Chain A
Amino acid sequence: MNVLRVIKAGLGISLIVFTVAEVSVSFAIVDRQKALREVARYNMVWAVSQAVGEFYRFEERVAAYGAPGTAVDSDEVQLRFDILSNRLDIFRHGDVKEFTDAKPEQGQTVDAFGRLLTDLDPLVQAIDRPGTTPRILELAQPFEAKLARLAAAANEYGGDQTSADQQRLMQLHWMFSSIAVALVVCGLAFIVLLFVQNRLLTKAYETLRSLADELRAAKDAADAASEAKSRFLATISHELRTPLNAVIGFSEIIAKETFGPVGQKAYREYAADILDSGQHMLELVDDILIMAKLDAGRYELDLVRLELRETVDRTVNMFRGTKQAGRRSITVDSDGAWPWIEADERAMRQMLLNLLANAAKFSEPDTPIEVQCRFSSDGDVVLSVTDRGIGMTPQEAAQVVNAFYQADSRIARRYEGTGLGLSIVSGLMGCHGGRLSIDSEPGIGSRISLIFPASAVCTPAFVKVA
């Protein structure tokens, strides 16, 4: 069902998307942690504004030192200067450097500030010399504006950084949201697909169930029909046999003049003919019954262990006594392999008689008939009857096992027969687990083989009384 296949594909795809989303979530989480941490980084804006503050305090202390009657000593001024120098150091290294690198103009301010401090250093150390204080203040004054500008720029830069960090967080947030949505969608898709699949499967199951029910009913009907047929045939054959027995019995008595002579020779001949016809009819009835049983699969084999050579010899002798055999030469090949096999004795006899009768029927009386037995390469037992008769084409050989078939209607008229023979042999071989094989060439002859499976071969049974 195509729909089911589509659904299966859909389930597979949603599963893959789900997995991909899961993996990206894991990576995104790690990323997010990093981003969150970076948001709380060192506040260099504060550092810069502190420097500005220190600068003013230094200026104030210098001015206070210079003012008459103050309590400020030179050590205090030196301390302030040292603190200020430390601030420059911070500008030159660490996170503030990142800012000055990004804004070259502010970098220049820092460099100028550095030069100022270098210039002020000796002056601060010699601050008690007259005229030093105003000089220091004079040099420092221009930097008030510059440092204020520096602090403002740092603040701007800091703001940009924060903004960028926030944006990154927002992006991560959106990524998380879309992944979450994707997960939900996949989950839902999965559920829906499973639902649909379930419904389709349930429907299919229902259809199958009803189909199975129908089939069962049909089979029951067929079985019943077969039963009826078998019973019908059994009844019919019994019904037919009874009058036939009378026909055969009484005609035999008359033909054999058992109770005295008949008188007219013609009546004796007629009685013989009636006997022949009656026996022929009986054969037909038996054949039909066997055919029916084989058809219904109800032919029951009575398997016994048979010495194949002995069975064949007896059957051939039986055949030699019949009119069909006449004075024909029938040989049984002694050099062959003659194993013991498990088979139905009656069926064996019937099959052999049938093959011998066919061989005799379809070949000239002066040609020989041979019976051989060998093992095939697979270990099967191959029992063959060979004649040098009219043979048959491959197409005829294929058809001849079909019931009621005779190779040619002309032949049918010339060679009597119902055409049931080989189909019965074929069916009986089937019951034994074997098969019938035909090897024939028109004008040359035919070899019909009964092939028993290797499993039919058995050990000898010593039940013979000497």
Chain B
Amino acid sequence: MISAVRPLVAPLFGAFALLAANLAGAGSLPEPAEKPILTVTGKISATNKDGAAQFDRAMLEALGETSFSTSTPWYKEPVKFEGVALAKLLDAVGATGDRIVSIALNDYSAEMPIEDARKFGVILALKRDGEYMTVRDKGPIFIVYPFDSDPDLKAQKYYSRSVWQVARIEVK
């Protein structure tokens, strides 16, 4: 029986090491090449600068793109948002808390339970209708819920969690 197992040992060990490295994180994020647009702090395991994880636009886009169209109280017509799934970002930084606080450029902040990310498919939108969003246009990052997917989301509770001009995210 041992002779059958031996050929599998090396690949198994390699996979395990990779998994462990991913889980451990600790300084495993690359540094941003351009000016960072998002800083993540708090209960995270992957960092790249003094216990914080900084991302530029390219790093965020490298996490994978998600998009959806939805109606909002800020635009007359339904709008197509493209960006990174919040859940993917949280996985990338190894978030272990139960709440996240999003803080905007003008110091507006909102708290949301971490399950919202997975439960509702919240995204960090970078593009609106195909165009990158400037600060004037609620950019560079806009936290958007897919409001049309669930009638319960069309309430003040979720509109207030939909922070635009996001600069920082704290994991608590």
* A residues with CB within 8 A of B: 37, 40-44, 46, 50, 54, 57, 79, 82-83, 85-86, 89-90, 93-95, 97
Contact = CB atoms under 8 A, between A and B. Distances in A.
Contacts of B157: 40
B154 A37 contact: yes
B135 A41 contact: no
A94 B136 contact: no
B149 to A, nearest CB: 15
A50 B136 contact: no
Contacts of B156: 40-43
Contacts of B76: 93-94, 97
Nearest to A44: B73
B66 interface: no
B160 to A, nearest CB: 8
Interface residues of B, number: 22
Interface of B: 72-76, 105-106, 108, 134-138, 151, 154-157, 159-160, 164-165
A461 to B, nearest CB: 94
A83 B73 CA distance: 18
Contact of A86 (B138, B154, B160): B138
A205 to B, nearest CB: 58
Contact of A85 (B136, B155, B160, B164): B136
A86 B135 contact: yes
Contacts of B155: 37, 40-41
Nearest to B106: A83
Contacts of B138: 86, 89
Contacts of B136: 82, 85-86, 89
Contacts of A95: 73-74
Given A79-B135, A86-B138, A89-B137, A41 B72 contact: no
A97 B135 CA distance: 21
A82 B72 CA distance: 21
Given A42-B73, A54-B106, A94-B76, A83 B159 contact: no
Contacts of B106: 54, 57, 83
Given A43-B156, A50-B108, A57-B106, A83 B135 contact: yes
A457 B35 CA distance: 122
A353 to B, nearest CB: 103
A94 B75 CA distance: 5
Pairs of residues from A and B, 5 with the lowest C-beta to C-beta distance, nearest first: A82-B135, A42-B73, A40-B155, A94-B74, A85-B136
Nearest to B72: A94
Contacts of A90: 74
Interface centre among A50, A54, A83 (most CB of B within 10 A): A83
28 contacts: A37-B151, A37-B154, A37-B155, A40-B157, A41-B154, A41-B155, A42-B156, A57-B106, A79-B105, A79-B135, A82-B136, A83-B106, A83-B135, A83-B165, A86-B135, A86-B137, A86-B138, A86-B165, A89-B136, A93-B75, A94-B72, A94-B73, A94-B74, A94-B75, A94-B76, A95-B73, A95-B74, A97-B76
Nearest to A83: B106
Contacts of A44: 73
A43 B108 CA distance: 15
A183 B75 CA distance: 45
A40 B72 CA distance: 14
Contacts of A57: 106
Contacts of B160: 43, 46
Given A93-B76, A94-B74, A42 B105 contact: no
Given A41-B73, A44-B73, 17 more contacts: A41-B156, A42-B159, A46-B160, A82-B135, A82-B136, A83-B105, A83-B106, A83-B165, A85-B136, A86-B135, A86-B164, A90-B74, A94-B72, A94-B74, A94-B75, A94-B76, A97-B76
A90 B157 CA distance: 19
Interface centre among B76, B106, B151, B165 (most CB of A within 10 A): B106
Contacts of B72: 94
